[in-house]
Chain A
Amino acid sequence: MPFIPHTDAELKEMLAEIGVNEIEELFDEIPDELRATGLDEIPLGKSEMEIAQLMHQRAGEDQRALCFAGAGAYEHHIPAAVWELTTRGEFYSAYTPYQAEASQGTLQLLYEFQSMMTGLTGMDVSNASLYDGASSLAEAVLMAVRANRKSKTKRILTPKTVHPHYRAVAHTITRHQGIVLEELDYDQQAGCIDLNSLPNDPGDFTALIIPQPNFFGSLEEVDALTDWAHQHNALVIAVINPTSLALIKPPGEWGDIGADIVCGDGQPLGAPLSSGGPYFGIMCCRQAYVRQMPGRIIGRTTDLNGNEGFTLTLQAREQHIRRSKATSNICTNQGLLVTAATIYMSLVGPQGLFNVARASHNNTKYLVEKLSNVAGVKKIFTRPFFHEVVFEFDLPVSEIKHALSAQSIVAGVSLDEYYPELNNCLLMCATETKSKADIDLLVENISRIASRLESSKRPAQPKTA
């Protein structure tokens, strides 16, 4: 059921105007031997009612779960106005604002977004977004290689406390350009980068990546790490969670002079979990590196009459002008998600974001207190945390997770796939959306399941012959 408005009469008129008898003639430049035989395997079209019935049924199968998983995607309350406004046709169905005069709405909004992001991160400039947090880290690595002219090695120190998928994406995207992502191990007691393990003479390296909070939810010693990297002429790439910056020190203030490039995922600012996307990538930097930054950037300027207006600027960095010499092949940004984030930040304001951050922290702290009382469960890292924590279980977490999912509870994320040493561990998160009753329910269920598994673990009575 396509969205085609033509009547039969109009079709005839249009064919006559073109000078052909039927539409098929318009395809006569396609060589006969290439003409497709059809699309038989695709079902016939559906009306909106029919597809709606199917989608309601399928959405129902993925019934809303009580979710304590985080690991880069966080459930926060999204004010109703965010998506009411974001899906207004004038935002939703507009194209990239290349025709500035016809796109002042999107352009001003993006300028406001850039302003909010620089305010939040404490950095000089922001772009208008990249695809997601992981790809923004990859772009930050490429950018650091361009920006740090003192370094020749393209060595990027990459702590294992960075999200494993972020590291995987950075590897995928940067590997063809001679860039080496060198792993830095972590302190298995503290759950963060071990300052004492940093070499006195690390040799030339281009940048150090610092995640804050890190993948385990722990807070890194960002000041000392930043200064250490700068002492060795390396840049600092911060990977941040924007919500956390309302509570903890922003990267622009780390150490003596702050981080150089900041990236991260903007999802916590108004994007639904939605199976992992669409989210958006954050990218901020020092003024000195703005010409090395990838992606779209909006500037404020004046029009012929001297009135204020907004336009895409510094386009000479981009692929549609520079082609093979561009800073990146990136073409789109995630405009719609940035629209949602800008409206979200306006609605909650500084006090709201501060309270969201504190409530998320306090709820996770409550989870720690409760869950630590359950026999066979313990929090394993000692560093302060933001709103995520790693728990170790005496029993197989796969069984606990499975039993909880039968109760529509998503307990957290297992870590053994990427950290074999963290076998039987769950990374768990309780944002402001979780009440004490929700957390109590989770803890009761874990306690019950653990004791059931424990009792079934006892060896069966030996059979007598």
Chain B
Amino acid sequence: MLIIEKSQPGRTNTAQIPRDVEAVTDIPETMLRKSPINLPEVSEMQTVRHYTQLSQKNFSIDTQFYPLGSCTMKYNPRGCNTLAMLPGFAQRHPYSPDNLSQGYLACMFELQEMLKTVTGMIEVSLAPMAGAQGEFAGVAMIRAYHDAKGDDERTEILVPDAAHGTNPATATMCNYKVKEIPTNDEGDVDVDALKAAVGPQTAGIMLTNPSTLGVFERRIKEIADIVHQAGGLLYYDGANLNAILGKVKPGDMGFDVIHMNLHKTFSTPHGGGGPGAGPVGVSERLIPYLPVPMVTKENDQYRLLTEEDCPDTMGRLSAFMGNAGVLLRAYIYAAMLGRDGMQRVADYATLNANYLMVKLKKAGFELAFDNRRATHEFIVTLKKQSKDLNVSAMDFAKRLLDYGYHAPTTYFPLLVPECFLIEPTETETKQELDGFIEAMISINEEAASNTETVISAPHTLPVRRLDDVKAAKELDLNWN
């Protein structure tokens, strides 16, 4: 039932309504609103009950194992939220003067410093509000670099065929043509194809390492050399940073620019689809082009750097300082981890992924890259089940929901058929992983013995499978 269906005309929530408000007399009648505002008229208790009950229809990290590959669904520590919402932070206006902002700016400065160390990059800007904005900033900086050299022949960005969809979409927004580079049988970039593809038209390459295939790109140094020798730059998609914290630094691999998804590695909440935060780090040659604002420290005082300080900046990406409150949560988390904790995060994220991979293999599941280590994630392909039993990865995913597990990422990356991209993260216990493995084994048996149950799943959730075709054809996008 929608909240509007609980509405009664004239019901008001007096505790939440400003009192004794006088009529407005100094705005001309023609400029005022005449039509009613179709918002619900419900009590505070009705509202609390409605949204509490809605929340209970969600899977979430706080209620279920959520092994969603490429999304790093780790525990979001409660303390990070509580401390970021302290009144001094929550009520700070973005235009507050520096003398009323030193506490907040100190946190941001230290976050910049920690991210520099973790990534091996020379400078960091916290400005981008999400991974896709970080990507945009990165590619726009690559363009600014070539433009500054007067090199306008470079019209192409190379993207591996396994890349996340935001990579090619971003390159297009920066007016680059996208050329796809194939992946070889072991999950590495096809270096010969790369050699053939680079040239004076190459502006750069967008790479994720560990790749979206859940493996470490072993020939990364060679790839970096090939692209650099052709005059292009290397862009690092930092979606998969969790398993390499303290193990290997993108700066050392030869990357010129990186974005980080703080809502993944640094555990800020996914919030049902956002907000994220996508800081960017750069090598020496891209420093002038970093997005503003950034935080600097002068004579023990912190202040924001703006266009005035950074005349060659690629620009501004948000009205103020990006998703500032998300950055604060990430800072608190990073400070809690410390350098010792970060190494352990990488260790145990990798341990959990390899344990899950090996046990699923022993249980008879087919791995996409059988002779590789898992990084923080790995891929199972269900193509045999699909071919022999007509049970798809999507059917497996929906049936897992009945078992109380959120489904892994399905059908991504697109080049592995019927795939599950599985990422357990370091915060899950061995017991939870074992439970998931048992569920997978059980569904595999059901797929053969009780196919109908699997292909018509889920059976125990608030709704059965939804009619997506109807949703797109008979658009019903609001109650008005």
Contact = CB atoms under 8 A, between A and B. Distances in A.
* Binding between chains A and B: yes
Contact of B73 (A95, A111, A222, A305): A95
Contacts of B38: 115-116, 119, 350
Interface string A90-112: 11111111011111111011111
Contact of B26 (A62, A163, A272, A365): A365
A362 interface: yes
23 contacts: A39-B245, A44-B339, A51-B83, A51-B335, A58-B106, A69-B93, A77-B16, A93-B61, A108-B2, A131-B133, A172-B316, A178-B175, A219-B31, A245-B33, A275-B321, A278-B325, A300-B477, A301-B468, A302-B470, A339-B271, A350-B38, A405-B100, A410-B100
B275 A337 contact: yes
Contact of A313 (B322, B372, B471): B471
B168 A26 contact: no
B88 A273 contact: no
A17 B355 contact: yes
Interface stretch (B380-388, B440-448, B456-464): B456-464
B345 interface: yes
B246 interface: yes
Interface string A292-314: 00001111111111011111011
Contact of A28 (B101, B308, B332, B373): B373
Interface in B132-173: 132-133, 135-136, 140, 143, 164-166, 168-173
A33 B222 CA distance: 13
A133 B319 CA distance: 7
Nearest to A96: B273
A408 interface: yes
A371 to B, nearest CB: 16
A370 interface: no
Interface stretch (A7-15, A145-153, A441-449): A7-15
Contact of A333 (B33, B274, B355, B372): B274
Contacts of B13: 347-349, 352
Interface stretch (B74-82, B189-197, B279-287): B74-82
B305 interface: no
Given A99-B406, A348-B16, A355-B17, A23 B351 contact: yes
A232 interface: no
B96 A108 contact: no
Contacts of A101: 398, 401, 458, 461-466
Contacts of A67: 91, 93, 96
A40 B318 CA distance: 33
A2 to B, nearest CB: 4
Contacts of A274: 89-90, 92, 324-325, 328
Nearest to A344: B16
Contacts of A5: 427-429
Nearest to A245: B33
A172 B129 CA distance: 14
A92 to B, nearest CB: 5
Nearest to B472: A313
Contacts of B35: 122, 250, 253
Nearest to A339: B272
A4 B318 contact: no
B337 A116 contact: no
A108 B350 CA distance: 36
Contact of B169 (A3, A99, A277, A323): A323
A352 B17 contact: yes
B173 A132 contact: no
B317 A277 contact: no
Given A41-B117, A115-B480, A81 B93 contact: no
B85 A83 contact: yes
A445 B340 CA distance: 50
B50 A346 contact: yes
A348 B17 contact: yes
Contacts of A365: 26
Contacts of B184: none
Nearest to B62: A89
Interface stretch (A183-191, A324-332, A455-463): A324-332
B236 interface: no
Interface string B90-107: 111111110111111011
Contact of B175 (A10, A169, A177, A328): A177
7 closest cross-chain pairs (CB), A and B: A276-B320, A89-B62, A45-B338, A336-B271, A59-B88, A172-B315, A58-B103
Given A63-B88, A89-B63, A102 B95 contact: no
A13 B339 CA distance: 26
Given A104-B57, A332-B274, A277 B129 contact: yes
Contacts of B56: 90, 105
A201 B425 CA distance: 61
B479 A246 contact: no
Interface residues of A, number: 202
B39 A116 contact: yes
B343 interface: yes
A290 interface: yes
Interface in A369-410: 384, 401-402, 405-406, 408, 410
Contacts of B168: 319, 323-324
A180 interface: no
B232 interface: no
Interface in A24-68: 26-31, 33-36, 38-48, 51-52, 54-65, 67
B59 A102 contact: yes
Contacts of A108: 2, 54, 57
A2 B456 contact: no
Contact of A52 (B79, B271, B275): B79
B80 to A, nearest CB: 9
A253 B314 CA distance: 37
Q: Which of B118, B132, B325 has the most CB of A within 10 A?
A: B325
Given A94-B271, A247-B24, A311 B471 contact: yes
A354 interface: yes
Given A14-B351, A131-B133, A132-B129, A105 B165 contact: no
A132 B318 contact: yes
A249 B477 contact: no
A347 B95 contact: no
B412 interface: yes
Contacts of B364: none
A328 B456 CA distance: 34
Contact of A223 (B17, B30, B347, B456): B30
Contacts of A40: 117, 339
Q: Which of B23, B90, B428 has the most CB of A within 10 A?
A: B90
A141 interface: no
Contacts of A88: 52, 55
A73 B218 contact: no
A104 B96 contact: no
Nearest to A401: B97
Contact of A249 (B31, B132, B291, B325): B31
A220 to B, nearest CB: 9
B202 to A, nearest CB: 16
Contacts of A168: 307, 315-316
Nearest to B45: A81
Contacts of A330: 130, 132
A310 B355 CA distance: 36
Nearest to B17: A352
A323 B28 CA distance: 48
Contacts of A438: none
Interface in B187-233: 215-216, 218, 220-221
A249 B32 contact: yes
Interface in A171-202: 171-173, 175-178
Given A36-B246, A334-B273, A349-B40, 9 more contacts: A36-B248, A46-B338, A62-B96, A75-B91, A92-B76, A104-B462, A105-B58, A119-B37, A272-B90
